[in-house]
Amino acid sequence: MVTPAISNLSLDYQIVDVFTENALKGNGLAVVFDTVGLATERMQAIAREFNLSETTFIQRRDPETEKREGVRVRIFTTLEELPFAGHPTLGTASVLKLSAPEALDGDTITLALNVGPVPVRFQSDSLFGEMTQREPEFGAQLDPAMVARLTGLSVDDLHTAAPPQVVSTGTAFAIVALRSHTALARFKVEQEEATKYLRAKGGRWFYVLGPTGKDDPAWRARMQFYGGEDPATGSAAGCAISYLVGHGIVAPRQRIHVQQGVEIGRTSDLFLAADLVSGKVTDVRVGGSTVRVAKGQLFLP
């Protein structure tokens, strides 16, 4: 038997499930510590190794810089680096709250992401956090017939208050509101054609949600990308609540409960709210819980 060579580099990591209080539900996230100086290509390779929706890399800086700008964090999918993503932001802040409490400023941890600073505020003695996302940017309104065809739905499934629209709070999604969540059972994105269509309109992926007709949860959502399905999409949820409040479908400051990932056995619970001031959507908040699942070390040459 050949004895493996000793690694030149070891990195601690944790795996958490986000937007859930139950392990093995929600959206999984790998968080890697002490990655200052780690090459971008190496981060991308590590993200492919974990093969989760996203992997984050924490790069600690001196206390004065972190107090002023936040804790530097980079976010990768298996294919690319993202400027912003919701469940990695919430999950990484939760890991920092437990592992590096000095990063807290009162009840808040601010992450310095590629998109800029994003604060996450925690409830006392809890890993329920609420991130405040960037002010939304409303982009192109989309042709309902085209959207319906690309998502396996019918025009009659779509909400009548407003057409689907590209919205961004850091990452641009095409928000598609439905009359009822029951149509989500037929949701199936024609990925190749949809990618070309959405890129031309300034968007990345479809985020489709509909009301359940119940008090709690009030909405269900789905998001398919990279040929698979996302259990929870916090960045898209911020875009969705911006759209819903902006078009008068949800009242300003009303918190709604959205479930995602039901169809793939990874039920996630997201809590959303936004305000409307002088006709402008503001104070976009997306919250949920995080639970720790595993920790370990990476041994790298």
Taking the C-alpha atoms of residue 291 and residue 17, their distance in angstroms, rounded to an integer, is 5
Total number of residues shown for the chain: 301
* Rounded CA Rg of the chain: 19
54 catalytic? Reply is yes
The answer to whether 228 and 194 are in contact (CB under 8 A) is no
Record the tokens describing residue 123, joined without a space: 């409830």
76 by DSSP, 3-state: which? strand
Across the strands, what pairs with 138? 167
* Long-range contacts of residues 2-10, Cβ cutoff 8 Å, at least 24 apart: 5/301, 7/299, 7/300, 7/301, 8/300, 8/301, 9/298, 9/299, 9/300, 9/301, 10/297, 10/298, 10/299, 10/300
The contacts of residue 256 (CB under 8 Å, 6+ apart) are: 218, 219, 241, 244, 250, 271, 272, 273
Take residue 19 and report the two structure tokens written for it: 């937007």
CA torsion through residues 90, 96, 111, 59, sign: negative
Give the Cα separation of 94 and 78 in Å (integer). 22
Catalytic residue (choose from 41, 49, 54, 263): 54
The residues annotated with a catalytic role in the active site are 54
